[in-house]
């Protein structure tokens, strides 16, 4: 458990360091996805399985796809630019880090009855009860935050398309 | 007990995000650094929840996730607008307000 945690922490730190020092946006996004997946493994080791799943689905999936769409929209996507993005050096680093994470997950599955891998149903039940019990005002506030976010994103995107020359 | 190293990792991640936010001038990288810092805060909440065996950490993680989704959608719209109007992503070029 401890060793797995430290390996995942090292992967997270290395990938984050590459994110903030990289020049190419797509490469930095690749490293950021690896960092998020490593972070979700850490959440899993800390016993928060639901948070780990959400980290992969929403952060690694939805938010990173938004970033990639914006990077694609920003510049003219010239052929030579794509060629520099897809050089082997671009995916070797993230692939090595992701293989380390894959090895950790494989070890967790093979090792079997670790306490981390047992699904604790009462904990998820407690999360749900607390979310819609004492924290119901937070859920309402989140909905009040998401609706202005939706309207703001729609407004900013719409003006961009209508003013396009 | 993994909470203490997890809190240390959260501190280091937050520091890395802060360094990235202060040192990079590309506004897209500043957004990425903000995401890293939000993740570090979420990790700190999860570690606190794991330390005390309570579910409040995971609930705060859910709220941070909602906040990040709303923030990213609006901020990326602003990035698109800025790149369309100024033809650059340099944060120093957006100085029309003389701030």
Q: Identify any residues that bridge with B26 across adjacent strands, giving them in sequence order.
A: B90
Q: Which of B21, B26, B8, B39 is nearest to A10 (CA)?
A: B8
Q: If you ran DSSP here, which 8-state letter would residue B26 be given? A: B
A73 pLDDT tier (thresholds 50, 70, 90): confident
pLDDT given at position A165: 46
Distances (CA, A) of A119 to A17, A21, A124, B62: 33, 38, 9, 19
Q: Let me know whether A52 and A96 are in one domain.
A: yes
Best of B77, B86, B87, B89 to disrupt the A interface by mutation (most A CBs within 10 Å)?
B77
Q: If you ran DSSP here, which 8-state letter would residue A164 be given? A: -
Q: If you ran DSSP here, which 8-state letter would residue B55 be given? A: S
Q: Let me know whether A60 and A86 are in one domain.
A: yes
Total structural domains within chain A: 2
Q: Which of A93, A107, A89, A90 is nearest to A7 (CA)?
A: A107
Q: What is the pLDDT of residues A96-119, one digit of tens each?
A: 888 988 988 888 888 765 555 555
Residues A34, A15: contact at Cβ < 8 Å?
Answer: yes
Phi and psi at residue B94, to the nearest 5°? -90, 70
Q: Let me know whether A44 and A65 are in one domain.
A: yes
Q: Let me know whether A124 and A50 are in one domain.
A: no
Q: Let me know whether A112 and A145 are in one domain.
A: no
Provide the CATH number for the domain around residue A16: 1.20.120.1200
Best of B18, B37, B58, B82 to disrupt the A interface by mutation (most A CBs within 10 Å)?
B58
**A157 lies in which domain range?**
120-165
Residues B84, B43: contact at Cβ < 8 Å?
Answer: no
Q: Let me know whether A36 and A61 are in one domain.
A: yes
Please classify residue A157 by burial: count the beta carbons closer than 10 Å to its beta carbon, then call 0-12 exposed, 13-18 middle and 19+ buried.
middle
Residue in chain B closest to A10 (alpha carbons) equals B9
Cβ–Cβ below 8 Å for B55 and A146: no
With a CB cutoff of 8 Å and minimum separation 6, the contacts of B42 are A51, A55, B60, B61, B64, B65
User: ipTM, 2 decimals?
Assistant: 0.89
Residue A62 pLDDT > 70: yes
B96 pLDDT tier (thresholds 50, 70, 90): confident
Q: Let me know whether A95 and A144 are in one domain.
A: no
Q: Let me know whether A103 and A133 are in one domain.
A: no
Q: Let me know whether A9 and A83 are in one domain.
A: yes
Q: Which of A13-17, A145-149, B90-94 has the least mean pLDDT?
A: B90-94
Phi and psi at residue B33, to the nearest 5°? -65, -35
From the list A5, A19, A48, which residue is nearest B46 (CB)?
A48
Residues A31, A19: contact at Cβ < 8 Å?
Answer: yes
With a CB cutoff of 8 Å and minimum separation 6, the contacts of A53 are A40
Measured distance CA(B97)–CA(A9) in Å, rounded: 42
Q: Let me know whether A113 and A143 are in one domain.
A: no
Q: Let me know whether A136 and A112 are in one domain.
A: no
Q: Let me know whether A105 and A44 are in one domain.
A: yes
Cβ–Cβ below 8 Å for B69 and A32: no
């Amino acid at each position: 458990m401890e060793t797995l945690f430290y390996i995942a922490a090292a992967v997270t730190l290395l990938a984050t360091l590459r994110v903030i020092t990289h020049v190419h946006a797509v490469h930095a996004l690749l490293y950021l996805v690896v960092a998020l997946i490593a972070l979700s493994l850490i959440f899993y080791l800390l016993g928060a399985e639901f948070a780990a799943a959400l980290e992969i689905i929403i952060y690694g999936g939805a938010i990173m796809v938004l970033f990639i769409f914006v990077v694609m929209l920003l510049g003219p996507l010239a052929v030579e630019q794509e060629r520099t993005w897809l050089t082997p050096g671009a995916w070797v680093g993230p692939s090595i880090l992701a293989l380390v994470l894959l090895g950790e997950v494989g070890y967790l599955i093979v090792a079997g009855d670790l306490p981390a891998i047992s699904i604790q149903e009462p904990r998820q039940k407690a999360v749900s009860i607390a979310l819609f019990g004492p924290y119901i005002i937070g859920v309402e506030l989140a909905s009040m935050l998401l609706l202005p976010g939706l309207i703001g994103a729609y407004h900013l995107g719409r003006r961009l398309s209508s003013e396009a020359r | 007990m993994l909470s203490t190293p997890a809190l240390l990792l959260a501190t280091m991640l937050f520091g890395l995000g802060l360094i990235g936010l202060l040192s990079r001038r590309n506004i897209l990288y500043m957004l990425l650094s903000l995401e890293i810092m939000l993740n570090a805060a979420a990790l700190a909440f999860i570690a606190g929840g794991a330390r005390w065996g309570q579910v409040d950490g995971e609930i705060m993680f859910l709220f941070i996730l909602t906040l990040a989704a709303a923030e990213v959608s609006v901020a990326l719209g602003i990035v698109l607008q800025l790149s369309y109007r100024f033809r650059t992503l340099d944060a120093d070029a957006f100085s029309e307000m003389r701030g």
